[in-house]
A and B are shown apart, each in its own frame.
Chain A
């Protein structure tokens, strides 16, 4: 199971991995060791909780890195009851987790395809101009740019809807009552 956790940890941004990955793995190893007697549903539920926590964490860190977002942890599943000002559509968290799983699966599939190709097969390319006209190139770039803009807008919209607050917005010196 630690191999699975290790592979999920590779989804985190490199800077985050350098600081926390080994420590997180050590904690996960301790959890696995202490729960060695666990069987059945509780074992399954624990592993799903840990894996989904890591996936959600990776999505959060990438979002923060891409958008420069420095707010509080936004993927705190089911534990937001005390945060009256916190609004994050659960569907967005689920969607981002699904996208991450799909990316992970695509990477694994690509590795499998790459391994199945015999080493002596003729390499593909380079792409010649007759294969790829200027109009096609323009259309592909336009489609990619529009997709990137749509995804960016969706993520920004979801974060804006969430109403998340920065920790730094809290004024610890000021009494709250």
Chain B
């Protein structure tokens, strides 16, 4: 296995929200709620805490959104963030595969 820590669910969902396209804060919250079918509702404090950490570590970047009349700040994934997300998805796939095999073996 690896010594890399796995991502927390909010961070994973934020990255998944931004992998599709850049979004501003409220759009991220709405997308996460939709993606998780209403199961995960991040508070604004939690969202911005995670965004600040991701910005510091260079996983995402902040820019002035052009398509917004109010000039909102939007966020997008960086190359590092994209690679980290791919690594996490691979880890989850492997975990799900092992889980599926073990459950199937137990049932048979």
Q: Are A171 and B53 in contact (CB under 8 A)?
A: no
Closest approach, in angstroms, between the C-beta of B18 and any C-beta of chain A? 15
The contact of A54 among B4, B45, B54, by CB within 8 Å, is B45
The contact of B45 among A50, A167, A170, A171, by CB within 8 Å, is A50
User: In this assembly, does A72 line the interface, its C-beta being within 8 Å of a C-beta of chain B?
Assistant: yes
The contact of A76 among B8, B25, B88, B94, by CB within 8 Å, is B8
A-side interface residues, number (CB < 8 Å): 49
Flag the segment in A24-32, A108-116, A125-133, A154-162 that touches B.
A24-32
Q: Are B91 and A177 in contact (CB under 8 A)?
A: yes
Q: Are A83 and B8 in contact (CB under 8 A)?
A: yes
The B contact surface, by secondary structure, is helix
Size category of the binding interface on chain B: 35 or more
Q: Are A50 and B43 in contact (CB under 8 A)?
A: yes
Q: Are A20 and B48 in contact (CB under 8 A)?
A: yes
User: In this assembly, does A38 line the interface, its C-beta being within 8 Å of a C-beta of chain B?
Assistant: no
User: In this assembly, does A118 line the interface, its C-beta being within 8 Å of a C-beta of chain B?
Assistant: no
User: In this assembly, does A147 line the interface, its C-beta being within 8 Å of a C-beta of chain B?
Assistant: no
| Distance in angstroms between the alpha carbons of A176 and B90 in the assembled complex | 7
Closest approach, in angstroms, between the C-beta of B102 and any C-beta of chain A? 16
Given contacts A23-B25, A79-B40, A176-B87, contact A86 B45 (CB under 8 A): no
> What is the 8 Å Cβ interface bit string for chain B, positions 32-57, against chain A (1 contact, 0 not)?
00000000111111111110111011
Q: Closest 6 interchain pairs by CB?
A: A53-B43, A53-B45, A57-B45, A165-B5, A172-B84, A167-B57
Given A20-B52, A73-B10, A172-B84; 17 other pairs, CB 8 A cutoff: A23-B73, A50-B43, A72-B53, A75-B49, A79-B10, A82-B7, A82-B8, A82-B12, A83-B6, A83-B8, A84-B6, A85-B6, A166-B57, A167-B54, A169-B5, A170-B5, A172-B83
